[in-house]
Amino acid sequence: MNQHISPSGSSRAPEPLTIPVEGMHCASCVRRVETGAAKLAGVISSAVNFATKKLTVETGEGFDPDALDKAIRKLGYEIPAGAMDHALREAGMVVSGASNADVSDQQDRRGSSISPTRGESRGRAPHPAHNSGDHDHASHPTHDHAHMHHGEEASLKRDLAIAFILTLPLFVLEMAGHAYAPFHHWLMGVIDTQNLYYLYFVLATAVIFWPGLRFFRIGLPALLRGAPEMNSLVAVGVAAAYGYSVVTTFAPGLLPEAARYVYYEAATVIVTLILFGRLMEARATGRTGAAIEKLAGLQAKTARIERNGREIDVPTAEVVPGDTVIIRPGERIPVDGTVIDGQSNIDESMISGEPIPVSKTMGATVIGGTINTTGTLRFTATKVGRDTMLAGIIRMVEQAQGAKLPIQTLVDRVTAWFVPAVIALAIVTFAVWYIVGPEPKLTHALISAVAVLIIACPCAMGLAVPVSIVVGGGRAAELGVLFRKGAALQGLADVSTVVVDKTGTVTKGRPELTDFITAEGFDETETLALVAAVEARSEHPIADAIVRSAEARGLAVAKAEEFESATGYGIRAKVGTREVAVGADRYMEKLGLPVDIFADAASRLGDEGKTPLYAAIDGKLAAIIAVADPLKASSVEAIRALKSIGIEVVMVTGDNRRTADAIARQVGIDKVVAEVLPEGKVEAIHELRGHDRKLAFVGDGINDAPALAEADIGIAIGTGTDVAIESADVVLVGGELSGMVSAIAVSRATMANIRQNLFWAFGYNVALIPVAAGVLYPVFGITLSPMIGAGAMALSSVFVLGNALRLKTFRAEETR
């Protein structure tokens, strides 16, 4: 049955689908799932993150979720029931028809609609459409995946306990005799060898076909399909040791007398150790996604809103745009909105990384998931469900974590042939030792071949890159940095030049009253109130900045009468009985008021790139005023920090040269490109990039979008326009340039972590596979037990996971 997939009601293009896939146990599994998905019609690209066990596909015209589900199952893996529908809703798609399995127990709270097809629907009812609740914690895919993950961990814990309890007596009975001869003699006096073998057989069979059955159930079908993976290696190795022992126990006549040994303890210890490694992996990878689970848990469960003249508490999922929401001290804000009355301080550290609460008054924006600390606020809900900033952050982090870094391509190429090569090497090893090995040749050949199979499991290689991406990306989100595209996490580490826009990036992007100096005999408060009263009649941005400043000081702005505007000069009006005029120096001179008394102040303001205005009251010069776009508080320190880690910083702006140079001097930028149009910013990037340099551009406006797209890494200020954010690879959520320092630091730390992981993973295999094959035996008489191989394999994965988890505590200051 064909299905039609299209974006839900909005004009937004579908986002990539991120779907959990069960049954993947090594890098070979990852490769198969990626390749199988990529072959399907309507799939533009596919990538699997082995650390999170999730498949991310970018879809196009003709995509059929049923076809994807069937392809995954055909390969021997499973998409959990309901997961496809979750993914489709998360991606903002409308599905005509059914996909995946029946999920009637899961209500759609995703803001998209799923409608029945005109043809057959396989008896599945469509989900009702809601307009919010995208990240209701109870239904978020990350939360569901966490439940699945905990279920897997519980299953592994149970199987490991069973395997350990059954293996322990077998191991003690067999190995203690080798280590302590008197114990062997005592045991032989209590039970004869054949009966002891029967006991071993019972214990080993229980281990292998109960907790160990998982390896055969997955590994053997994969081997028969000609696509062996880690479970195949374990299954073949364990089956060889167990099968040889069974022959020795029940048909010893088939073997030469010198080769009649049993290896039940090796087979069971291998199963037990690999289950232990899997459990450690599951626990560690469960912790890697903690950042997203933490973000998902920030969604308030209820909201207090005003409806029909009364206050009621409703689930957050039922809040709609336009609702008036009431927030009291200590409560978490449920959705994004705009304050309509009240004053409070909001803890926004979850999105900015900054611990100091931000003051909010009428007109300010509040963000869902942040915490109201002091006063009571009323605000209008503007964004709900999947449109909130918190929902967007979670989606961006998940997508970046599911991305494929360029360095992963190398690992993929190696692992594509690794498992088949290991099986071939095990066969060669067996053949060589069977022909030229010491007596008993068959035993020696078997042990060496099994050791090769067990020690070569490529878990560590498969985990080396994705686990670092997950932890590094999550840590970046906690620091207020969102990697929208996974490749940026790698690319940013190599950036040598950072180009910054001025307005809204280095500066606040909104004019403010920066200087107000009164002449002798005039009171500053009274003068500002009179000037604001006149400016309130003007629609100029400078006038708005003066009025806002007066209101912020709590001044009453009176109504001005007889307002007059002199184009190019200034404005004048009557405020009560006072005559007030505001304008440029030429306006004051026109009114016969020389501005010489403010000469020094005017010179200083000019050096700072500010154009001074003057105010006159009742025919006397009263004040010099400067309105400018002030620096963000963190800009100076951010530029200094970037330069301290070897980054060249260049400012590119459309503003005039004088203002640009003044701002550059204040923040410590040495190179400035001024008075350029948006196309000029792109040209500047071409010129600055050179041949071998990687360049990042940081901007916030619509006019920055071309430059953000052109740069090697485009970085958007999170408080900027949606167009800029959509054009960027990285988003600095807090809106401060200091986030750039954290972004580069996290990127460099993550790439260093990946290199360490790969060195360990590849080094381990390169060093130990030849030892397992027996290269040291002719000279030193050293062979590697399959049991030791299983332990070393498990430890290699745990080491890689532990190393990646160090990124959870990373701090940007560590790179300076």
pTM of full prediction above 0.75 = no
Residue 5 has pLDDT above 60, yes or no: no
Element (H, E) at 802: helix 786-805
136 classed as catalytic: no
| Closest alpha carbon to 341 in 310, 388, 306 | 306
Separation between Cα atoms, residue 270 and residue 237, nearest integer Å? 9
- Token pair 């799932």 is found at 33
Asked if residue 736 lies in contact with residue 636, where contact means CB atoms within 8 angstroms, the answer is no
Angle ∠(779,780,786) on CA atoms, nearest 5: 115
- Reading phi first (left if > 0) and then psi (alpha if -120 to 50, else beta), residue 750 is in alpha
186-212 core/surface letters (b: 16 or more CB in 10 A; e: else): eeeeeeeeeebbeebbebbbbbbeebb
Residue 602 in domain: yes
Whether 134 shows a pLDDT value over 50: the answer reads no
pLDDT of residue 696: 92
Tell me the pLDDT band of 410, cut-offs 50, 70 and 90: low
| Cβ atoms of residues 46 and 150 within 8 Å | no
CA distance 3 to 410: 36
503 secondary structure, DSSP code:
I
> Are residue 273 and residue 316 in the same domain, yes or no?
no
Least confident of 20-24, 320-324, 558-562: 20-24
Which tokens is 96 given? 């005509």
Residues with Cβ within 8 Å of 277's Cβ and at least 6 positions away in sequence, in order, are: 459, 790, 793, 794, 795, 797, 798
pLDDT value of residue 77: 85
The owner of tokens 């100029």 is 540
pLDDT band at 669 (very low <50, low <70, confident <90, very high): very high
Provide the residue count of the chain.
Answer: 816
CA 395 to chain CA centroid, nearest Å:
8
Q: Do 498 and 522 fall within a single domain?
A: no
The Cα–Cα gap between 489 and 485 comes to: 8
Query: How many angstroms separate the Cα of 520 from the Cα of each of 527, 584, 620, 625, 780?
Result: 12, 20, 11, 15, 97
pLDDT of 51 reads 67
User: Rounded mean pLDDT of 787-814?
Assistant: 77
How many domains, in total, are found in the chain?
Answer: 5
Assess whether 273 and 164 both reside in one domain: yes
* Preceding peptide of 440 cis, ω within 30°: yes
Tokens of residue 120, six digits: 């057959």
Q: Identify the three-state secondary structure at position 120.
A: coil
Outline where 465-523 has alpha helix (H): 466-478, 486-491
Confidence tier at 731 by pLDDT (50, 70, 90): confident
Q: Is 142's pLDDT higher than 60? A: no
Summarize the confidence of residues 516-524 as an average pLDDT: 93
What's the pLDDT score for residue 436? 86
Q: What are phi and psi of 697, to 5 degrees?
A: -115, 135
Fill in the amino acid letter for 312: I
∠ Cα 142 335 485 (to 5°): 50
C-beta separation of 471 from 805 below 8 A: yes
CB–CB of 29/23 below 8 Å?
yes
Do 491 and 462 share a structural domain?
no
Please say if the pLDDT value at position 728 is more than 60. yes
Query: Are 283 and 308 in a shared domain?
Result: no
Residues 267 and 408 grouped into a single domain: yes
pLDDT value for 116: 30
In terms of domains, do 718 and 786 share one? no
Give the C-alpha separation, 100 to 436, whole Å: 55
Q: Tell me: the pLDDT tens digits for 683-726?
A: 888 888 876 778 999 987 666 778 888 888 989 887 665 666 67
Residue 114 pLDDT > 50, yes or no? no
The conformation of residue 130, written as its DSSP 8-state character, comes to -
Structure tokens at 136: 């209701």
Specify whether 245 is located in the same domain as 263: yes
Q: Specify if 673 maps to a domain.
A: yes
Q: When comparing pLDDT for 534 and 235, which is higher?
A: 534
Average pLDDT value for residue range 367-378: 88
Residues 30-43 have a mean pLDDT of: 86
Please, are residues 441 and 434 in contact by the beta-carbon 8 Å criterion? yes
Buried b (16+ CB within 10 A) or exposed e, 755-779: ebbbebbbebbeebbebbbbeebee
Task: Count Cβ atoms below 10 Å from residue 637 Cβ, excluding itself.
Answer: 15
Question: Where do the H-state alpha helices sit in 91-192?
Answer: 141-179, 181-190
Residue 94 lies inside a defined structural domain of this protein? yes
What does the pLDDT read at residue 105? 36
Q: Report the CATH number that the domain containing residue 550 is assigned in CATH.
A: 3.40.1110.10
pLDDT, tens digit, for every residue of 537-552?
Answer: 887 778 888 998 998 8
DSSP-assigned letter for residue 263: -
Q: Is the predicted pLDDT of residue 103 greater than 50, yes or no?
A: no
Q: Confirm whether 72 is domain-assigned.
A: yes
Question: Alpha-carbon distance 122 to 65, whole Å?
Answer: 14
Does a structural domain hold residue 428? yes
What's 640's domain CATH number?
3.40.50.1000
The answer to whether residues 234 and 220 touch, using CB atoms and an 8 Å cutoff, is no
Q: Assess whether pLDDT exceeds 70 at residue 113.
A: no
Collapsing DSSP states into helix, strand and coil, what is residue 189? helix
Cα-based distances in Å from 276 to 159, 166, 242, 481: 9, 14, 20, 35
Q: Stretch 738-759: mean pLDDT, rounded?
A: 90
**Integer Cα distance of 603 and 612 in angstroms:** 9
Query: How many helices and strands, by DSSP H and E, does the chain display?
Result: 29, 28
Range name among 176-190, 681-695, 748-762 with the lowest pLDDT average: 176-190
Phi, psi of 4 (to 5 degrees): -105, 130
The residue among 559, 594, 628 that closes a domain is 628
Which amino acid is it at 405? L
Evaluate if residue 112 carries a pLDDT over 70. no
Q: CB under 8 Å to 145, separation ≥6 — which residues?
A: 20, 52, 54, 289
State the pLDDT confidence band at 133, using cuts at 50, 70 and 90. very low
Composition of the chain by helix, strand, coil, percent to 5: 55, 20, 30
Distance CA 489, CA 476 (A): 10
Task: Give the residue, 361 or 721, on which the prediction is more confident.
Answer: 361
User: In 10 A of CB 293, how many CB atoms?
Assistant: 19
Q: Is the pLDDT score of 104 beyond 60?
A: no
Instruction: Considering only the C-alpha atoms of the chain, give the largest distance between any 2 of them, rounded to a whole number of Å.
Output: 124
Buried b / exposed e across 467-480, counting CB within 10 Å, b at 16+? bbbbbbbbbbbbbb
Indicate whether 453 pLDDT > 90.
no
Residue 481 located in a structural domain: no
Q: Is the dihedral of CA 282, 288, 290, 293 positive or negative?
A: negative
The model's confidence at residue 780, banded by pLDDT at 50, 70 and 90, is confident
Phi, psi values for residue 269, rounded to 5°: -65, -35
Distance CA 413, CA 415 (A): 6
For 564-591, the pLDDT digits (tens) are: 888 778 899 999 899 999 998 889 998 9
Rounded to 5°, the CA angle 421-423-427 comes to 115
Q: Are residues 696 and 553 in the same domain?
A: no
Q: Which amino acid is at 774?
A: G
| Contact indicator for 583, 564 with CB cutoff of 8 Å | no
Q: Is residue 396 part of a domain?
A: no
Tokens standing for residue 342:
């009240």
In sequence order, what are the beta bridge partners of 620? 617
- pLDDT the model gives residue 812: 66
State whether 417 and 285 are in the same domain: yes
pLDDT at 54 over 50: yes
* Mean pLDDT, all residues of the chain: 79
Residues 58, 304: Cα–Cα separation, whole Å = 38
Q: What is the pLDDT of residue 319?
A: 92
Q: Which of 108, 323, 501, 585 is catalytic?
A: 501
Q: Is pLDDT of 39 > 50?
A: yes
User: 810 — phi, psi (to 5°)?
Assistant: -65, 140
Domain boundary, last residue among 363, 388, 413? 388
pLDDT average, residue stretch 236-258: 82
Q: Are strands 620-628 and 648-652 parallel, antiparallel or unpaired?
A: unpaired
Which pLDDT score, from 0 to 100, does residue 7 have? 43
In a domain, 740, yes or no: no
Q: Are 651 and 642 contacting, i.e. CB atoms less than 8 angstroms apart?
A: no
Helix axes 466-478, 264-288, angle to 10 degrees: 30
Residues 104 and 14 occupy one common structural domain:
yes
Q: Confirm if 36 and 72 have CB atoms less than 8 A apart.
A: yes
Rounded to an integer, the average pLDDT of 768-796 is 78
Q: Identify whether residues 523 and 538 lie together within a single domain.
A: yes
pLDDT class of 286 with cuts at 50, 70, 90 = low
Does 344 or 816 have the greater pLDDT score?
344
The count of C-alpha atoms lying within 13 angstroms of the C-alpha of 797, restricted to the half-sphere facing its C-beta, is 31
**What is the domain extent for residue 699?**
486-507+633-728
| CA atoms in the 13 A half-sphere facing the CB of 433 | 27
Which one of 603, 628, 653 terminates a domain? 628
